[in-house]
Amino acid sequence: MKKLLIFIILVSGTYQAALAQHASDQEKTEVSQSVNMTEEEKVNHLINYLRHLSGSVFIRNGNEYSPDKAADHLLSKWNKHKKKVKTAHGFVDRLATFSKTDEPYQIRLKDGSTIKCGDFLNQELKRIELQSSFLE
């Protein structure tokens, strides 16, 4: 019985070490992927970042939309115009900042504060580009 218990402890420790190594490898993979992001990947990241902004509200032309609807809207604009808008910065500045009526898109965050969508997405874009520059 003692040998079985020692075996279980050893196997458990090895298993935990393997899990920790896998998590470390996963983080390294995610980091290296962020370093090499294409402009399209950056745009997709921004759209998904908005999509997963739980508890927030997207405001377009005075109407409120869920983050999911907002992301779908911006994705459709991106798909329609990506041949003309080639960069993530162009996406934010030309497609994700204003509606056709020149009214700024806004986001009401979970804490109740409101920010212009363009400013919000530019902050995230700067963050991922800064992270990439540190990792190169």
β-sheet bridge partners, residue 106: 59, 116
Residues sharing a CB contact under 8 Å with residue 135, sequence separation 6 or more, in sequence order: 31, 32, 34, 35
pLDDT in 10s for each residue of the chain, 136 residues: 656 545 555 555 544 544 455 444 444 434 444 457 999 999 999 999 999 999 999 999 999 999 999 999 999 999 999 999 999 999 999 999 999 899 999 999 999 999 999 999 999 999 999 887 766 5
Contacts of 37 (CB under 8 A, 6+ apart): 45, 128, 132
Q: Does the reported pTM lie above 0.75?
A: no
Of 18, 114, 103, nearest in space to 61 by CA: 103
Tokens representing 56 are 């927030």
